[in-house]
Structure 1
Amino acid sequence: MPASSILKNSAAVAAGSVVAGIGYASVIERNAFVVREVTMPVLAPGSSPLKVLHLSDIHMRPQQRRKQAWLRSLADLEPDLVVNTGDNLAHPKSVPAVVQSLSELLSVPGVFVFGSNDYFGPRPKNPANYLIKPSHRIHGEPLPWQDLRAAFTERGWLDMTHTRRDLEVNGLVIAVAGVDDPHLKRDRYEAIAGPANSAANLTLGLAHAPYLRVLDRFAADGYQLVMAGHTHGGQLRLPGYGAIVTNCDIDPSRARGASKWGAHMQLHVSAGIGTSPYAPLRFCCRPEATLLTLVAAPTGGRDAGMREGQSHPSVSVR
């Protein structure tokens, strides 16, 4: 076969593979919702286990019926606490869909902070900016985050934006603090600064986007666990490599799952449930909610069992 024919055939195969990959990422994997289960030893010694459902980056649009049905099914997990780390909306009329989808979970104790796509709608963006201009911001139309906040708080969930609060769940005292979205530079850590309540069974920090400046402040104040979202787990991951980008300044190795931060704090970053309507792709990064089973840390220290930059070994997906 002539070399020119070989090159043409190779180009056709490559083009076909790209098209097939885009089709899979946009149609199949983007809707292949999964519950990731993780066990983390972060509670004070002697504490009973606590089941925490971590939701993030729902990016809801009113017509997304499959996503809405899957979110309703999460109530069957029977968590003790729900943590929502923002980016619930992707359309100005999405609040009813979010509230109805989470209706049963809103009867469970819950805490939340907002993300950029609660405040502003998505807009078309140059995908190359994620690689060459990671701090670039383009805001869409304002979204009705106040309505979402009212619906969540009326059902009992607590808005932790620039707030510190102790709450009791299943006999455990949880000291929670949260900041507004660091991606929009709305975080004002000074509003919650100070040592975490060392008498609590768990000290928990919340932020939508896991920027280094915020994580370091939580760690310095003695928080045992910080939960965040925003990264979408990288959204497009390479087999054997992982996330390419994170859309913030955290290392790509931490874009999804549990890892150790500093000497004593642990971090959980959700890969999220949705995508922007202008980038509706996921590859090697299924949309997820995470059921964290928090257990007492070994008496040798709350950070035992975790190695820096690595996920806890007790992880399952279903």
Structure 2
Amino acid sequence: MGTTKADTRAGAGIALGLTAAAGVATLGYAALVERNLFGLRTESLAILPPGSRPLKILHLSDIHMVPRQTAKATWLQGLAELKPDLVVNTGDNLSHPKALGPLLDALEPLLDFPGVFVPGSNDYYAPRLLNPFKYFAGPSSLGDKPLKELPWQQMFARFGSAGWLDLTNRSQSVALRGLRIDFSGVDDPHLGRDRFIGFPNGSSTADEAPHLRIGVAHAPYQRVLDAFSDGGAHLMLAGHTHGGQVCIPGYGALVSNCDLPTWRARGLTQWENNGAVVPLNVSAGIGTSRFAPVRFACRPEAVLLTLTAR
């Protein structure tokens, strides 16, 4: 018996239905499951001066807190059990005007540790609903409509009162575990507010003392990474990309939302510029915009970097 047109139409309908069901299931997984599968990525780097003790850096980025995100808050609080020597926060902490209280409650245990921070655009301004396909045309923009300001000043004040250093277009040195760490940070490059002022100069013999130079930015635009590396950075930390947020298994990120190559959108890589080779850690981030609450093949993360002697 041959196949009839009715059979063909029925088969096509079943295939279409299965495809649609798979799409719905994938979207449900990305929205309800994977975006809450918080994890810790661990990395080790032998970049400290000889004889230095190990240094544990907890890198947080893109928390994008929204009220009533209990699972995220509980997980963040639990990171204090890692007992880091230093917390580095690379911005985009908020995603809702009423999220400051929940954010600070979630970070409270970590504020007991030394820390530094730089802001992202979603520290200054609330996110807006955008066409997600525009990300494929290049880095997103804030548009021309008035923006709703977030309580960034109160957030900065609380971070500062806990002793975290504000590196917004600033540089500063701190002593930690017998080592001098020279920081240089920039305001959000995605907003075009970055201004690299160099690393701290110190005394005339500063380069002879054991030290480590760390560049800190929210968005890893190439101009910023080049400036850090030209300035003598030994390590660079950034976020912003969300690791691509929605990735293709076996391929990776489709976009980085900046001019960073997509294969660098998450993880520890080596940035090469003018003969310098500098480790670059880009965090895939912990949250998402509240208008795009999905992750696929790109789980949320914090990063624990253990630095050891060369």
Normalized against structure 1, the TM-score is what?
Answer: 0.90
Q: In structure 2, how many angstroms separate the alpha carbons of the residues matched to 1:244 and 1:140?
A: 28
Q: Which moved more, 1:28-37 or 1:38-47?
A: 38-47
Of the three residues 10, 19, 25, the one matched with 1:20 is 25
Q: 1:215-267: CA deviations, max 9, x gaps? A: 00111111010100000000011111011101000001110110000132110
Residues 1:165 and 2:139 are matched in the alignment: no
Residues 1:148 and 2:155 are matched in the alignment: yes
Of the three residues 258, 264, 267, the one matched with 1:254 is 264
Q: Which moved more, 1:39-48 or 1:282-291?
A: 39-48
Residues 1:88 and 2:88 are matched in the alignment: no
Larger radius of gyration: 2
Query: Which blocks of at least 5 consecutive residues in structure 1 are unaligned?
Result: 298-318
Contact kept, 8 Å, 1:34 with 1:288, in 2: the verdict is yes
Contact kept, 8 Å, 2:126 with 2:147, in 1: the verdict is yes
Q: Which residue of the partner structure matches residue 65 of structure 2?
A: 60
Counterpart of 2:269 in 1: which secondary structure? strand
The runs of at least 4 aligned residues of structure 1 exceeding 2 Å deviation read: 133-140, 191-201
1:7-46 alignment to 2 at 5 Å? 7-46=12-51
* One-letter code aligned to 2:48: L
Q: Which residue of the partner structure matches residue 255 of structure 2?
A: 245
Q: Which moved more, 1:129-138 or 1:96-105?
A: 129-138
Residues 1:129 and 2:134 are matched in the alignment: yes
1:194 to partner: Cα distance: 7.9
Contact kept, 8 Å, 1:162 with 1:192, in 2: the verdict is no
Judging changes above 3 Å, is the alpha-carbon distance between structure 1 residues 200 and 117 closer, same or farther for their aligned structure 2 residues? farther
Residues 1:274 and 2:287 are matched in the alignment: yes
Contact kept, 8 Å, 1:243 with 1:255, in 2: the verdict is yes
1:158-237 alignment to 2 at 5 Å? 158-189=165-196, 191-192=197-198, 198=207, 199-237=209-247
How many residue pairs end up in the alignment?
296
Q: In structure 2, how many angstroms separate the alpha carbons of the residues matched to 1:103 and 1:22?
A: 33
Q: Which moved more, 1:36-45 or 1:142-151?
A: 36-45
Residues 1:6 and 2:11 are matched in the alignment: yes
* One-letter code aligned to 1:192: G
Judging changes above 3 Å, is the alpha-carbon distance between structure 1 residues 163 and 122 closer, same or farther for their aligned structure 2 residues? same
Of the three residues 265, 270, 275, the one matched with 2:278 is 265
* One-letter code aligned to 2:268: A
Q: In structure 2, how many angstroms separate the alpha carbons of the residues matched to 1:92 and 1:8?
A: 46
* One-letter code aligned to 1:17: A
1:69-88 alignment to 2 at 5 Å? 69-88=74-93
Counterpart of 2:181 in 1: which secondary structure? strand
Taking only aligned residues, the RMSD between alpha carbons, in angstroms, comes to 1.5
Contact kept, 8 Å, 2:92 with 2:240, in 1: the verdict is yes
Judging changes above 3 Å, is the alpha-carbon distance between structure 1 residues 117 and 37 closer, same or farther for their aligned structure 2 residues? same
Q: Which residue of the partner structure matches residue 289 of structure 1?
A: 302
Q: In structure 1, how many angstroms separate the alpha carbons of the residues matched to 2:57 and 2:66?
A: 25
Judging changes above 3 Å, is the alpha-carbon distance between structure 1 residues 222 and 29 closer, same or farther for their aligned structure 2 residues? same
Give aligned-pair identity as a percent: 52
Contact kept, 8 Å, 2:186 with 2:216, in 1: the verdict is yes
Contact kept, 8 Å, 1:52 with 1:79, in 2: the verdict is yes
1:3 to partner: Cα distance: 2.1
Normalized against structure 2, the TM-score is what?
Answer: 0.92
Contact kept, 8 Å, 1:195 with 1:222, in 2: the verdict is no
Q: 1:14-56: CA deviations, max 9, x gaps? A: 1111100000000000111111111112212222110000000
